[in-house]
Structure 1
Amino acid sequence: MAWRDAKASKVRLLLFMASIILGIAAVVSIQLFSGNLKNNIQGQSKSLMGADYLIDTDQEPTERAQQLIDSLGPQAMEVNFVSMVAFPKNGGTRLVRVRGIAGDFPFYGEIDSEPPTAGNTYQQQGGALVDATLMLQYNVVPGDSIKIGEVTLPIAGALKAIPGTTAISTSVAPPVIIPYAYVEQTQLLQFGSRKEYQYFFKDETVDLALLDKTLDPMLDMENADIDTHTSTSSRLGRRYDNVGKFLNLVAFIALLLGCVGIASSVNIYIKEKLPAVAVLKCLGASRKLSFLIFGIQIAGIGLLGGLLGTALGVGVQSMFPYILQSLLPFNVTIELLPQPLILGVLLGVFMSVLFALLPLLRTLYVSPLAVLRIDDSGTVQSTLARWVLGILIFGFLYGFSFWLLQDGAYALAFVVGVVVTFAILAGIALFTMKLVKYFFPKEASYTLRQPLLNLFRPNNQTMVLLVAIGLGTFLISTLYLSKDMLLAKTSIENNAKSPNLVALDIQTKQLDAVVGVFNKNKIDIINNIPLVTMRMHSIKGVGLNEIRKDTTSTIRGWILNHEFRTTYRDSLIGSEKLQKGEWIANYEQGTIPISISDNIARDAQLAVGDAVVFNVQGVLMETVVASVRQVDWTRLQLNFSIVFPAGVLENAPQFNVLTAHVPNEERSAYLQRDLVASFPNVSLIDLRQVYTIIEDILDKVSWVINFMAFFSILTGIIVLIGSVRTSKYQRIREAVLLRTLGAKNKHIVTIAILEYLFLGVLGCLVGLVLALAGSAALAFYLFEETFAPTIWPLLVFLPALVLLVVAIGLSNIRPVLKSSPLEVLRGVG
């Protein structure tokens, strides 16, 4: 019976199935890619680091740290720092990360270079490996030279990849690898230079967990750290796992939307089948039999939809390695994993049946007398069964969300958010129907009254269409508006008062001459910011060594080992807001008042009035927290976690940072050329290049997010098509009756257009309003920005979806317009 009835209703059942295919495909594709990514990270963990473990420090190792390092016998070492380089061939200059390497690094993986042998011979030949993209940009080839500080080296080859780097990091400061023996000759490591020393170890027999546990506390005492390949891969896995969880939720929403389409469409489908169920019961069919006939149909739809969705998901996931290539530190090898494939099929069956149960319950309560009744008022459903089913659906959603997020609170928040969103959309739909009914324009023309009646009469499509269109529009619009806010946070104002170039590591004795170079190039300096390096010596009277030994301390570890770059000034800047305490502009006498950022206050457990002693180049300086500032670290400008008042650090060992506004790339290039020629230790960061890189990264991430959200909107469209098409036969009967009563084709078309126009506009507007509300909340609570929405969603989504709804509605009545009423009625029958 299930098979025979399904064959007769195959068009409608295929539309039901299409509702879940895209949702299943989205979930399966993300699950497959996340699984492959995790396996690749675990399998390539040594190649990602290039060693079994390493010890690193941002200063020359102390005597004790050097003893610990030497006792383990490092097979390779590296010092890396950021600097400007020049290409004598064409005068080009660029900010790069110089990596001076000694020893046979990497131990795992390899240096990918062109020519291939360059990665193995550059140390013996005394040459440099230069980032391949950088060489293309500056039109240099192996055999040309590169000037790094006071040293000019031949370019041994183009560097394509090396363990420990990513495409993102190399975009900001491309790597240049040189033999360690030449680092001192560059004369670039001066006071205040930002540098990192790394010592690499190869030991496959060592217990890395035990080594980390034993050695890490001793290294922390010496401002050094140990990092193993297992911990690195674990951190990398968590980083991408968070992205995967978010994308899984987006895919899950697409699946939920498809299930809502199934529930609403099955509701209409079953309502039309109730007379047939009543006839079956008159012939002796049991409640169980009538229920299983249609239950088997829905389960079959879910099984086929799960299979097709899983197959589509396999195809989609193969695209992700290409889309995310620049965001990953390695090439992802794709293979089919059984768990996501089984999950896709089971989800198709389970969620189809689960969300179709509510309308299917109606078949249990159909009375045989319904054959004689005109309406279905005799069908009464069990309130207990509805509540049990509701709890079951909520429980499944929570369980599946918890499995995706691995966090009970977040899973509950997500499910509650979904329920609230659906409730708002459903509530607005019900309110709209009551509003139209209450304020119905009785004096209007028939062609206007009829479509308005269709919004609230029995078998209306208002609820399902509002939910489908509204949720899809809400998702896409919110993502679009949030992406715009994220980009706006990193935007650079293009005016003479906004710095777009930063000169770093300027020694005090060089300051006047560097300023002279700026003046020579007719570039005005906006800010001259002094920097003083220091470390914390004690917090609230307790020494840092004692804090390190205290296992109950809640102070974050990085506070104890960090070298702070501080400044002094007499006023707040645009990215700062006073949160607590009083801003002290100038120091007069007594304990030195300082201002700290809110993250320092949180991580160091500090409040206004607490004492902190700093070690400034061997001199202990007693300070007290006078104020706490809220700092917007997302702005592309120099922000500081610790700020001293004027009148304290002027005579301390320091270096300077200059900021300026350069009107165009040509002027920037001339300035960089002159500075590198005279002051090779000075590094220049063109913020416009940084902004371009950030924007490119955000575009890639937002493309992936929008791509997954596309599943939601496409699922919504399919649900929309299924829902509108489900009412096809009802609308045909109505149109035939109108034709029989003398209505012309233009009247029928006008009624159809107006009805679906009302539904489309209303659904899209509800989605946009929710998106604007959600984006405004994100702007206020998360981004802390003034919400200034773009009009693009209104201009694009609204007319596009409205036209789609109208087109589907018109396709329903097309047979009526081309045939006689009797012919159509016979076809429907």
Structure 2
Amino acid sequence: MKLGLLLKNAFRDSRRDRSKLVLFMSSIVLGVAALVAINSFNYNLVNDIDNQAKSLLGADLVFESNKPFQEDWIKVMDSIPAEKASEVALLSMAYLPQQSQSQFVRIKALGGGFPFYGKLLTEPENVDFQKEKTALVDDGMMLQYSAEIGDSIKLGQETFVIGGRLKNAFGSVDLGSGFAPTVYIGRESLAATELIQPGSLVDYSIFLKTADDFNPDEWRDSKRDDFRDNGMRIQTVEGQKENLQQAFSSLNNFLNLIALVSLLLACIGVASSVLIYVKNKVKSIAIFRCLGMNGNEAFLIYFIQIFVLSLVSVLIGAAIGSGIQMLLPIVFDSFLPYEVDMNMSWRAIGEGILVGSVITLLFALVPLIRIRNISPLRTLRSSYEEEQGKFDRLEWGIYALIILSIFGFLWSLTGNIKDAGMFTGGLLVAFGILFGVAKLITFIVRKFFPRNWNFIFRQGLSNLYRPNNQTRTLIVSIGLGTAILTTLFIIQGLILGNVGAMGAGNQANTILFGIETKQKDELAEITRNYDMPLMQETPIITMDLYGWKGKTKQEWLADTTRTARRWAINREARVSYADSISKNDKIIAGEYTSRVEPGDSVFVSLGESWARSLDVDLGDEIVWNVQGALIKTYVGSLREINFRSMDTRFFILFPLGVLEEAPQFHVLVTKTPDAETTAAYRNEVVQKFPNVSIIDLGSILVTLNDILSKLSYAIQFMAGFSILIGLIVLISSLFLSKYQRINESVLMRTLGAVKKQILRINMVEYGLLGALSSLTGIFIALLSSFLLVKFVFELEFAISWLPILVIFILVTLITILIGLANSREVVNKPPLEILRNNG
């Protein structure tokens, strides 16, 4: 048959049923819109990272270390033709005399013309904070304490005038500002503060603006390993781009996974709608066959209809997605390092159209290809189920293509074949569980039908396996949407619960560090005066790893066959000594030695993860450099460290009798009863001991809670696409199936069934569907959440059942309400009028 005739027949045949497929189109529109919006946002973000990476880094080359740079390495940096600036950053306490308030801050002492690209956002602009005794203070901190420009801020032993408000800490993302607000001062003013003491957490940076003919990336690649072996890092603009892209890649992959699930939900709706549509057209197809049309030609007529509808839906979805992307910077504003310029992304639109069209058509083909097998005899026998029981290689080939297309999309998204396989497998397991539950329910109801039950319940149950039922479609679509929503709530609740538990009960909530030995006793006395417990008083000694297993550190670094991880080798060791291990740690191998007598071998206890990374085991020799003195030790025990506790934790723990005379500083851990006590205690300590830093875990946990709540909101906003599409699939499936059920409802009305009975029958049916779908989705959510919590987040799996119960009730009620709304035409009008309108 000629193409023109096929097109004409397709157009004529669709005229009567076009309005019935509007909801079929809407699910595709939303699915593609989610995909295009998320990809557009990602591509614009990546494009802006490329454009603004230099401004975010502020230099062409950045050198970083947690120790002062040695003269030899400074000479290496000076050999580069470049303009130079430096920064010393440290965590310490600030005191505001006018407000009588103290705050844990990050002090950045800057010298030179940094930033070389971009600029600090300040109020007023271009504040010269590098002049003597002038500070630039974080705007949020000033607002919190009602500080004004011209007020004083005391840092260590020096008092500065606040010269301006800092609107952004250069090159940083806003997430950390709540933990330690930034204060800028001049590099030359740092010495007067006397804040750099043993135990101070200090980072050193040197910034270079190189000559135009110098290639920073080539130079970095040639020197990176040498710098890393000596505990230093090199950053370039290209490295900054990679870091920023990596920072947002996980979030983008998660959002794209949500978009893909949304699209798959839409495609389930497509397959369901097309199946119902084809069932409606069985007699028309049979008539076409009687008129001499073969099965493939009949198939093409309906394929053309679905293809055109799909294409129109995908194009509309792409257009809507391009508009929705404008909302995403608002939703993710708290997590972006800069303002993202949202432009039309033709790449995202093209990918959305391609992926949407391919997956939609593949799902639509599953019921469409059965048209080829419809016999002309169907003009007399309208049963459609006879064709469905036959094995069709082409149909199974389409199933394989669907799986391959999903895998291919995920592979292109993650760039990792293993991750793509795991995601695909997870989706298949979820679909398999939902589909299996649907099949099992229909089998059980059919096999063990309760014939002695009330008529209403019997009729509602029988609707689950009647010829035109939507049990499988609805359980899969509603169940998958419920699984996504429930998983998000469970993970959110677990993370927030673990964060809240950190400050609960007898957990410590205040840590003082940088305490000199001569200050220890007086600080303990101040703490007791506030009726606060001395939960820990821990000494800390800084040392370097000199060698192990008979080789020096440099020999191991030069050994290409070593298995030890570089991070473990180069990590600055901050160790402690005690007569016993923390109650939160657990010995998993060996025994802990509490004290060593002079002349005895020294056995240390190592954290299991660090020991594994250094590739050492019980009995292995490790040599340490403690301020120039070499100490030989042996691995005496391995510990599993509980990182969720608020106590101090150490990868390396010495016994008593070894390090008592070594240069050291101390940490004091306590618990304050309330915010007022915390403020008073902090102010007294800061005024008497300006070098001591106080970390208020309570305020940090509040900030962390706020960040996680914002992130949860952002993710739930995107997950809303899945939920909305699931509801549309539900509505469209019920709407389209209504036309199959009209004769049944009319027959019941004719036989005397009243409106109330029909509504109760529908309530039973949709209540069962909603309950079964939500329960299956919740089961999948519990399974996936357990795996995520145990193997990704490594948290305790203790969930709150109330939100899950609320989700179950809401999903069930929504399903019932939509089902009852769908039935109102049948119950509100006379049977004859309904037959005339739909006959």
Within-5 A mapping of 1:680-699: 680-699=690-709
Asked whether the equivalents of residues 619 and 635 of structure 2 are also in contact (C-alpha less than 8 Å), the reply is yes
Alpha-carbon distance in 2 for matches of 1:461, 1:249: 26
Is contact 2:507–2:646 with CA below 8 Å preserved after alignment?
no
Q: Structure 1 counterpart of 2:553, which letter? A: L
CA distance in 1, matches of 2:664, 2:467: 79
Partner amino acid for 1:562? R
- 2:204 alignment counterpart: 197
Amino acid at match of 1:231: G
Q: Does the CA-based 8 Å contact 1:725-1:808 persist in structure 2? A: no
1:332 and 1:552 map into 2 onto residues whose CA distance is 45
- 1:548 paired to 2:557: yes
| The 10-residue stretch of structure 1 (172-181 or 19-28) with the greater mean CA deviation from structure 2 | 19-28
The residue type paired with residue 714 of structure 1 is L
Whether contact under 8 Å (2:359, 2:405) holds in the other structure is no
Change (3 A) 1:717 1:585: farther
Helix, strand or coil: the match of 2:774? helix
User: Cα deviations across residues 28-51 of structure 1 (Å, max 9, x unaligned)?
Assistant: 111111111111111111111111
Three-state SS of the structure 1 residue aligned to 2:500 is coil
> Structure 2 vs 1, CA of residues 32 and 581 (structure 1 numbering), >3 Å: closer, same or farther?
farther
| Higher mean displacement: 2-11 or 242-251 | 2-11
Q: What are the within-5 Å matches in structure 2 for residues 246-285 of structure 1?
A: 246-285=254-293
Are 2:593 and 1:584 aligned?
Answer: yes
After alignment, is 662-671 or 812-821 more displaced?
812-821
Q: Separation in 2 of the partners of 1:174 and 1:812?
A: 56
Where does 1:149-548 land on structure 2 (aligned, <5 Å)?
149-203=156-210, 204-376=212-384, 378-379=386-387, 381-492=390-501, 497-548=506-557
Contact residue 502 and residue 646 of structure 2 kept, 8 A: no
Tell me how large the CA RMSD over aligned residues is.
1.9
Cα distance change, pair 130–377 in 1 and its aligned pair in 2 (3 A): closer
Equivalent position amino acid for 1:349 in 2: S
TM-score (norm. length: structure 1): 0.97
- 2:731 aligns with 721
Q: Verify the 8 A CA contact 1:370 1:378 in the aligned structure 2.
A: no
- Contact 1:731/1:813, CA 8 A, preserved across alignment: no
Q: Greater CA deviation, 1-10 or 299-308?
A: 1-10
Of 302-311 and 664-673, deviating more is 302-311
Q: Does 1:654 align with 2:661?
A: no
Distance 2:36 2:461 in 1: 41
Cα shift readout 1:188-245 (whole Å, capped 9, x = no counterpart):
1111211111111001431122211223233345432322121122112112112111
Aligned-residue offset at 1:783: 4.1
Higher mean displacement: 124-133 or 134-143: 124-133
Which residues in structure 2 correspond to 1:69-218 (within 5 Å)? 69-72=77-80, 75-118=84-127, 121-124=128-131, 126-203=133-210, 204-218=212-226
Tell me, what secondary structure is at the counterpart of 2:146? coil
CA change 1:798–1:4 in 2 (3 A) is: farther
Question: Is this contact kept in 2: 1:6–1:13, CA < 8 A?
Answer: no
**Which range moves more in the overlay, 743-752 or 80-89?**
743-752
Worse-matched range after superposition: 697-706 or 666-675: 697-706
Give the fraction of aligned pairs with identical amino acids, expressed as a percent: 38
Count of matched residue positions in the alignment of Structure 1 and Structure 2: 827
TM-score by length of 2: 0.95
Partner of 2:6: none
SS in structure 1 of the partner of residue 131 of structure 2: helix
What displacement does 1:634 show? 4.3
> Structure 1 residues 404, 223: CA separation in 2 closer, same or farther (over 3 Å shift)?
closer
Q: 1:607 and 1:6, CA in 2 relative to 1: closer, same or farther beyond 3 A?
A: farther
Shift of 1:785: 4.2
1:541 to partner: Cα distance = 1.6
**Letter aligned with residue 648 of structure 2:** L
Distance 2:64 2:813 in 1: 61
Q: Determine the C-alpha separation between the residues in 2 that align with 1:522 and 1:178.
A: 37
Q: Which residue type is aligned with residue 40 of structure 1?
A: D
Q: Secondary structure at the match of 1:157?
A: strand
Alignment-derived partner of residue 791 in structure 1: 801
Aligned counterparts of 2:165 and 2:334: Cα–Cα separation in 1: 18
State the match for 1:34 in structure 2. Answer: 42
Shift of 1:354: 0.6
> Greater CA deviation, 11-20 or 555-564?
555-564
Retained in 2: the 8 A contact 1:27–1:313? Answer: yes
Asked whether the equivalents of residues 490 and 635 of structure 1 are also in contact (C-alpha less than 8 Å), the reply is no
Partner SS for 2:79 = helix
Match of 1:65 in 2: 73
Q: Give the distance between the partners of 1:574 and 1:236, measured in 2 at CA.
A: 39
Change (3 A) 1:711 1:165: same
- Paired residue type of 1:584: T
Contact 2:549 2:620 in 1 (8 A): yes
How far off is 1:463 after superposition?
Answer: 0.7
8 Å contact kept, 1:575–1:639: no
TM-superposition CA deviations, 1:627-658 (whole Å, max 9, x none): 22222334444222222223332222111111
Query: Which structure 1 segments of 5+ residues have no match?
Result: none
Per the TM alignment, residue 157 of structure 1 is displaced from its structure 2 partner at its CA by 0.5
Residue 663 of structure 1 aligns to a residue whose secondary structure is coil
Question: Structure 1 residue 523: deviation in Å?
Answer: 2.1
Question: Residues 634 and 230 of structure 1: is their aligned pair in 2 closer, same or farther, counting only changes over 3 Å?
Answer: farther
Residue 642 of structure 2 corresponds to: 632
Write out per-residue CA displacement over residues 396-416 of structure 1, whole angstroms, 9 at most, x where no aligned residue. Answer: 111111011111011111111
